[in-house]
Amino acid sequence: MKKTIKTAAFIAIALAAIGCAKVEKTGANEANERYFNAWMEVNHPGLKPSGLGIYVLENEEGTGAEVKKGGYAIVDYVVTDLEGNISTYTDKYTAQQLGTYDTTAYYGPKVMTTIDNTIQAGLADAIVGMKAGGRKKVIIPSWLMTYKTYDNPADYLKNASTGTSAIYDITIRNYTDSIYKYEINNIAEYFKANSDIFGNMTARDSAKVYGFYYKQLQAPSDTTSFPKDTSIYINYTGRLLNGLVFDTTIEKTAKDNGIWSSTRTYEPTKINWGESYEKITMGSSSSSTISGFALTLWKMRAHEKGIGVFYSPLGYGYNGSGASIPSYSPLIFEIEIVDKP
């Protein structure tokens, strides 16, 4: 009953605001502003804006690295609309609560850039200045959900294209001004945590390509290099540093990791060798491969088994790939060269 009264009050205020407004247009977001102000008056009366015009509902200070402009924040978040409907999130718990949990998807902190024009202005306004370990819940008006940068708050209201107002609940996990160094450090921690496999390998041990590492698990039956235009066959499994398996040719591995599909045939895949690693292709359609995968193969010989680990510029970079590989993700590929099936 209270919700009905509150909703009715909001509608009444919104209609009154629209009815009393001047006819002449003063900016691209005039109607949005009236609606948003009416919503604020009903739901958060008296709350004052800060910065560019965001509204802070909750703020817990962190003690770690400070988020600055021009860098990369590693964050967890839950985003809702003004009615409280969840639109996006990073954590597994929320997915489970919503009934949308997917065993093939990545759940965990994601990278947000704080470089101008790569992040919504209101979101950057919210997280710049926060410290790792801190949490903030903010309301961001629709006109601040633009990627464009203007000189002052009034310019956003006047010029920004229409977005959707949102409520962000954000936790800062870490911050770096160099995302690639951050990835290399994460790879170093991975080697350390898996020393039973990688021994004393460090992130400084590179195969002449920055950000790429190879560890042999099984010696080859022949150390002769493959001639170009040769076809070989491999089994492989791809993982993130947190262990999430996103692709494999091995049926048992697929089933064990919840990514098995009845529409896929699990068997060794064909690799078409080239005169350099850039020329290696996969399958009968000769699809190109990501550089880190090709570099791993280039290190290998007949019946060899090994692991390639590489940072995101040799993988899927800032784009990521689907729901399984987020942006700026180092990847791991365990590969074995096998006989033709």
Could you tell me the CATH number of the domain that includes residue 183?
3.10.50.40
- Co-location of 206 and 321 in the same domain: yes
Angle value at C-alpha 327, between 326 and 328, nearest 5 degrees:
120
- Co-location of 195 and 309 in the same domain: yes
Looking at residues 287-304, what average pLDDT do you find? 96
- Co-location of 202 and 333 in the same domain: yes
pLDDT digits (tens, 9 = 90+) for 315-324: 999 999 999 9
Q: What pTM value is reported for the model?
A: 0.89
Domain boundary among 176, 203, 233: 176
Name the average pLDDT for the chain. Answer: 91
- Co-location of 58 and 137 in the same domain: yes
pLDDT digits (tens, 9 = 90+) for 209-218: 899 999 999 9
132: pLDDT strictly greater than 50: yes
Angle value at C-alpha 193, between 189 and 199, nearest 5 degrees:
100
Looking at residues 116-120, what average pLDDT do you find? 94
Residue 73 pLDDT class (50, 70, 90 cuts): very high
Looking at residues 115-130, what average pLDDT do you find? 96
Q: Cβ–Cβ contacts within 10 Å for residue 83, how many?
A: 8
- Co-location of 300 and 315 in the same domain: yes
- Co-location of 220 and 237 in the same domain: yes
The answer to whether the CB of 114 falls within 8 A of the CB of 72 is yes
- Co-location of 42 and 52 in the same domain: no
- Co-location of 270 and 145 in the same domain: no
What is the percent of the chain where pLDDT is above 70?
90
- Co-location of 184 and 332 in the same domain: yes
**How many alpha carbons lie under 13 Å from residue 255 in its C-beta half-sphere?**
6
- Co-location of 172 and 202 in the same domain: no
- Co-location of 210 and 231 in the same domain: yes
The range of the structural domain enclosing residue 2 comes to 1-46
**How many domains are contained in the chain?**
3
Residue 1 pLDDT class (50, 70, 90 cuts): very low
- Looking at residue 146, its amino acid is T
- Co-location of 334 and 185 in the same domain: yes
pLDDT digits (tens, 9 = 90+) for 230-250: 999 999 999 999 999 999 999
